[in-house]
Structure 1
């Protein structure tokens, strides 16, 4: 006769799909090794998973209902074209009963909710965030980009008791104009164990030092060095931009150290309005000579 999978789940052949699910839920929770410490619990738990695997699958269930366990496993029943038998069926339960259990409950540990108030399990808490600095160039902030960051984290195996180390690539989208300190969060990408909720992984934007510019919000500061003669007589500065162009700024005023001139709209995009931009601020640095000749002193009067 073989196994009676309906009897394993405690139902009859007239059971509906919902009846089969309810029966598996009841029996799996009853015999789960984490709850049931009897010597036969592990074998019974596997048998329940096998019964559910067969009866919840319409094709397997149809063959089992007509030809029993032997027909399902290729050991009996008529075969061949038109015979209506199991045909190519040669079923053997290869699954992990803990994986079936985890899939049925959506990866959750039902004991936390169903039995937590009886003192049989602990409430899981989420680990603190795992924070990484992410350095970006001003050019990347100017244009926007996607940074691919490789992380390694622990993930539970299907039995929900052991775990493995797994590498993963997280794609961090850097939007135009984002400020230093902006946080990008990837929920629950930290280490996973049977007793915790994985931490969030958080990347915090940090400006990478630039060889030419400094940043002030959406403004870009360009230090322009001018000679003392040019500072006194007027000068023209050719200032670079982040997109590779050059803009010209001419002043006839006396340039004092630290004096600034703005070139509107040549800075970084505004984070909340990427169509608008900050300014390119030319900050003058006057190069004073170490000494002056008499002739130069007369020219400076």
Structure 2
């Protein structure tokens, strides 16, 4: 359906799109992007906006824009001209040549296209638990997270061969990937069955010389650092989904990476339960009886002033309104802070202190008896 209609439309739209296009912005990259960043961005965005998979308005224009950006920025010479002179410099340098067909670029990159009816196999979803501080959750923060995964080999682009000339059709199955095997059930009776070709392992081709970079594995190990944003007041187990950022393979599309945000257990006196924060404050016997004033430094550094002029029982919990965790569902709203008081008794009492306490709690007569 698209083979006759799209090439013509693409060329018409491409002329309009590239007039004022910011090629780096089209790939959602900065000018410092590496070759790997450019390939990765094109791989992600071209799949997202391909007309056979995305029927939303504007998707086809975005697909063409992404293809043009990749065509220029993946070529070191074109990229250098664009960085220095922009689109006008490219046009002058190319001498009026037409830009490549976006679908040809797509097929050359992926080794083929796909139809809307094709069921694309997707790799497994990988889950990671990410521990962050309560300070990060209270204030909201960006956290750098390194993730180890497999990516397609940049040298062979996932073929496993040293070059395209080292990939040949399997002579055993003639590229079918399967062979028909006849088995005799009984004299005069035979059965036929299809089995995976032993020589090519069902791939339909054989490689005569392996890629020296990945040793024929088609993928290499890579560590990518993701900058993830933790919203203020994120609940325990809050999930951040990195779409199509899982392990790469020539046999399937990358799966997703799911990051589950959890607070670290070692947080001193601070504890959290949903939107509530809990703090343990230690006071002396005199403070428990006579009252006290304290300043609690909160998770973001601001000070919460506590004042009590009444008796404080051990284990008493004071509620401070609005000093708990931010509540994302209610903008500019916070839960409560619960301050639990622990009363610490002295390990020993001096004779003078003992006389004073006896006078206070048992009267002057008891204090006089103790002196005798």
Deviations 1:109-168 (A, max 9, x none): 658989x8xxxxxx7643432222222222222221111222232223565432333443
The equivalent residue for 1:296 is 357
- 1:257-276 residue pairs with structure 2 within 5 A? 257-276=314-333
CA distance in 1, matches of 2:262, 2:222: 27
Cα displacement string for residues 142-201 of structure 1 (whole angstroms, at most 9, x for unaligned residues): 221111222232223565432333443322111111122111110121112233332311
Q: CA deviation at 1:213?
A: 1.8
Contact 1:179 1:271 in 2 (8 A): no
Residues 271 and 111 (structure 1 numbering): CA distance in 2 closer, same or farther, change over 3 Å? closer
**Counterpart position of 1:156:** 152
Counterparts of 1:153 and 1:105, CA distance in 2: 24
Partner of 2:175: none
> Residue 51 of structure 1 aligns with which residue?
none
2:107 to 84, 104, 108: 104
Structure 1 runs of 4+ aligned residues shifted over 4 Å read 15-19, 108-114, 157-160
5+ residue gaps in structure 2?
A: 11-93, 96-102, 160-217, 363-372
Change beyond 3 A, Cα 1:142–1:108:
farther
Residue equivalent to 1:4: none
Offset at 1:17?
A: 8.1
Q: How many residues align?
A: 208
Q: Compute the TM-score of the two structures, normalised by the length of structure 1.
A: 0.57
Residue 95 of structure 1: aligned partner: none
| Equivalent of residue 147 in structure 1, options 124, 138, 143 | 143
- Is residue 331 of structure 2 the alignment partner of residue 286 of structure 1? no
SS of 1:203's partner is strand
From 213, 220, 245, the equivalent of 2:277 is 220
Question: Structure 1 regions of 5+ residues with no counterpart?
Answer: 1-14, 22-87, 90-99, 117-122
Alignment CA distance shift 1:193-1:102 (3 Å): farther
Counterpart CA distance in 1 for 2:121 and 2:322 is: 48
Q: CA deviation at 1:101?
A: 7.0
Instruction: Specify which of 128, 131, 137 is matched with residue 133 of structure 2.
Output: 137
Higher relative contact order (CA 8 A, sep 6+): 2
- Counterpart for residue 257 of structure 2: 201
Q: CA RMSD in A?
A: 3.8
- Corresponding residue for residue 40 of structure 2: none
Q: Distance in 1 between matches of 2:341 and 2:309?
A: 13
In the alignment, the residues of structure 2 paired with residue 188 and residue 108 of structure 1 have an alpha-carbon distance, to the nearest angstrom, of 19
1:23-62 to 2 correspondences below 5 Å: none
SS of the aligned residue for 1:281 comes to: strand
Residue matched to 2:162? none
Alpha-carbon distance change, 201 to 167 in structure 1, aligned in 2, over 3 angstroms: same
| Counterpart position of 2:240 | 184
Q: C-alpha separation between the residues in 1 aligned to 2:131 and 2:270?
A: 16
**Aligned equivalent of 1:128:** 124
- Asked if 1:242 is matched to 2:303, the reply is no
1:140 alignment partner, SS class: helix
TM-fit CA distance, 1:259 = 0.9
Using a 3 Å threshold, how does the CA distance of structure 1 residues 182 and 17 change in structure 2: closer, same or farther?
Answer: closer
